[in-house]
Structure 1
Amino acid sequence: MTRILAALALALSLLAPSLALGQGADLGTSATSGAAPSSLRPGQVVVNRADRVLYYSRSDGTVGAAPLDGGASFRNRVTNGAFTINQRAVTGTVTLAAGAYGHDRWKAGTGGATYTFSTAANGDVTLTITAGTLLQIITADMVHAGGSYRLSWSGTAQGRVHQGTPGAYAAGPITATLSAGINTTVEFGTGTLSLVQLEPGTVVTAFERRGDEQQRCDRFLQFHSLTARWTSFAASQSMEVHVTHRVPMRAIPTPTLVAAGGRSNVSGVSVIAFDQYSSRFQINSSSGADTYAIGDKWLLSAEP
């Protein structure tokens, strides 16, 4: 037991410098999901196995919480919960039709959405939703296990989480019982919104900050610029351009030409083959001459 407490003391001192764990430390466990303890004795540590959260007493008498299941990588099921990734480069007042996307992974609900946003010095973005709703579909592969999940956020917007028929909106945090392996929707109405987190259990832990948020968004959306130039000797000759995706996409993407770049002697550009890992484009010539397509911008979407 002494060695276990020593190891816990070292680990927790890294998690929380204000940890109070010393002589007479008390280690307990709980197998029941539930709210965080309102108080702990000095030096007391409680591991909740159901929620996979470790509670500890801070030196100021308050209770601290630390996730136990990969807290640095996988606890938050929401992608881009701080709204820092904005590949579509929306600006100003963002007005979205039903189902249209704004910031990465976030789209308008059935009534559309209108919002503005501001960026803090640390890069966190706060949305102000003025009309409609904004939602994210968390794909089934991110809901690894069934049970209780806690949805938390900062701001005045009310939210809800569901896997089918949506319920009423409520102020956060809120708890929902989810089934494993089913697409799950988190949705928010008007008000301010930032730092959205959906995590297993019934306890709210600190917002999870990850260094790979861009790559997580790239699984669902990528922009690629297409450039090729050659001398064609006749009409209807073609050149193929192979584009490797930055990361494997969640599913086979749907390609859309966002904007044609500079073109000369080009009769058409098309996607002739694509999968989760790469896309192949074909550029056709109009005649025998210098032929090029420079800077075509393509969107590849694997959103659910």
Structure 2
Amino acid sequence: MTLQDAINTVNGIDGDTHLTGQLYQDIFGPVFSSLQTCLDKVADFEALEASGVSAALQNITDTIAPQLANEQAKLTELVADINLAKDQLLTIQQGGISATNVGIPDGSGVEAETLDAAILELSQALGAAAAAIADRYTKEAADNLFLSQEAAADQYLDFANAQALTEAQKGQAQANIGLGGGWNWIINGDFTVNRRGGTRNPGIGVYGYDRWKGHADGLEQMIESLPAGDYTLTWTGGGTGTIGGVTAASPIYVTGLSGGQTSVVVPSDAARVSVCKGDCRAMTYDYDCRSYQAEVELCRRYYEKLTVFFIGNVVSNGFVGSHVTYPTKKRVIPAVSVMSVLESQNIGAINFGPITDASLRVYTNVPSDGDSYYSAIVELDAEI
């Protein structure tokens, strides 16, 4: 018994039992609706099945199969409801008078034996249809159907075993996983962080936007420690760029990079700059930048502005100062310079030291007795 057979059975009951109008709709309308929904879902499933390797497996397993299972549950409930309706109709027989001769609320009559036979036939049809759904269209069946296709096997990632993927597949997989920009070896690739207040056209060797410095051919970023391998440089905005000694338009795919500190050069008006491991030239993803806060945190490893301060009451020729821990550990011991003094009183020369990649001490020798205080904005530069 197919789903279509079950639907035909429901349609036929109207003529066999003379159930018409609202009564028919009340009893069998929900059955017809549920069966039709099942039929539609099966059609969706079979269309995806026919498309082979291009079928959306996740859509089948996560959407269609659960919907079919839900309809199966509805059908089970409807069988019970129909049997209850049958019992209610049969109680119309009174004093030996057949229900055929008793008025039904909508003006129709029904023969008890005919209705009983129709209900039995419908129940069998629904049971067979529900069994067919459970047998073929469950999530497990959908998984087995698609994953068993040898031609499609290499189109899916195997999370339990090692796979031999092409560089293009590796690159596409990085985009598919949705790492939120974690695959990008470029920092501040969309030029959203500019804590120096620089320009997009700084002098050669001068840093403007965070991590970017001027270059004769545009802007340069030094990747600190790129692992050896094959990489793809991409950006938007036209022009030519350079990575691994190769200069070309975007995208640039280079093989056999030795790694370590690696220069990347792009036009000064470039945007959405990325360096992806592997061959990413065929990737169809939109630029997946990190959040602004994530970019700032990465930039802090190379450059940061801090406010330092101290206050105390000290005798003449005494020392006063404070110890400052950086919010982010620096790449190397940074160069420290005072950008602006906010306030000061009763201080001598300001000294910084010791300076490490994680903290510094700022202090002074007080020239006279009394209160002494100092605050300033300092710059920590650990760029390459």
What TM-score bracket applies, with the shorter chain setting the length? 0.5 to 0.7
Structure 2 residue aligned with 1:231: 313
**Letter aligned with residue 252 of structure 2:** I
Q: Is there any run of 5+ residues in structure 1 with no aligned partner, and where? A: 1-7, 14-20, 30-43, 56-64, 112-131
Deviations 1:24-47 (A, max 9, x none): 465343xxxxxxxxxxxxxx5588
Structure 1 residue aligned with 2:202: 96
Work out which of the residue numbers 30, 38, 58 in structure 2 matches 1:9: 58
Q: Which has the higher contact order (CA 8 A, sep 6+)?
A: 1
Does 1:196 find its partner at 2:273? yes
Q: State the shift of 1:48 in Å.
A: 6.6
Does 1:302 find its partner at 2:382? yes
Partner Cα separation in structure 1 for residue 351 and residue 256 of structure 2: 42
Deviating beyond 6 angstroms after TM superposition, the runs of 4 or more aligned structure 1 residues are none
Partner Cα separation in structure 1 for residue 261 and residue 359 of structure 2: 25
Does 1:27 find its partner at 2:139? no
Q: State the shift of 1:177 in Å.
A: 2.3
Q: State the shift of 1:74 in Å.
A: 3.3
Structure 2 residue aligned with 1:217: 299
Q: State the shift of 1:96 in Å.
A: 2.2
Deviations 1:134-172 (A, max 9, x none): 1000011xx22x22200001112321112xxx45x3210
Matches within 5 A, 1:48-127: 49-51=165-167, 53=169, 65-67=172-174, 71-72=179-180, 74-90=182-198, 95-109=201-215, 111=216
Partner Cα separation in structure 1 for residue 322 and residue 237 of structure 2: 46
Structure 1 residue aligned with 2:253: 175
Does 1:250 find its partner at 2:331? yes
Partner Cα separation in structure 1 for residue 168 and residue 362 of structure 2: 47
Partner Cα separation in structure 2 for residue 82 and residue 287 of structure 1: 52
What is the TM-score of this pair, normalised by structure 1? 0.68
Structure 2 residue aligned with 1:136: 221
Deviations 1:25-80 (A, max 9, x none): 65343xxxxxxxxxxxxxx558872427369xxxxxxxxx3317884463111011
Deviations 1:217-273 (A, max 9, x none): 1111111101212222103x2223111111211222121111222112221112111
Partner Cα separation in structure 2 for residue 267 and residue 293 of structure 1: 10
Contact 2:306 2:379 in 1 (8 A): yes
**Over the residues paired in the alignment, what is the CA RMSD in angstroms?**
3.3
How many equivalent residue pairs? 237
Structure 2 residue aligned with 1:267: 348
| Larger proportion of helix | 2
Change (3 A) 1:107 1:215: same
The DSSP-based 3-state class of the residue aligned with 2:58 is helix
Partner Cα separation in structure 2 for residue 274 and residue 52 of structure 1: 45
Change (3 A) 1:280 1:69: farther
Partner Cα separation in structure 1 for residue 181 and residue 218 of structure 2: 28
Change (3 A) 1:178 1:302: farther
Q: What's the % identity of the aligned pairs?
A: 25
**Letter aligned with residue 263 of structure 2:** T
- Greater C-alpha radius of gyration: 2
What is the TM-score of this pair, normalised by structure 2? 0.55
The DSSP-based 3-state class of the residue aligned with 2:233 is strand
Q: State the shift of 1:303 in Å.
A: 1.0
**Letter aligned with residue 279 of structure 1:** L
Contact 2:168 2:280 in 1 (8 A): no
Change (3 A) 1:69 1:253: farther
Partner Cα separation in structure 1 for residue 328 and residue 345 of structure 2: 31
Q: State the shift of 1:277 in Å.
A: 1.5
Q: Is there any run of 5+ residues in structure 2 with no aligned partner, and where? A: 1-56, 63-141, 158-162
| Larger proportion of strand | 1
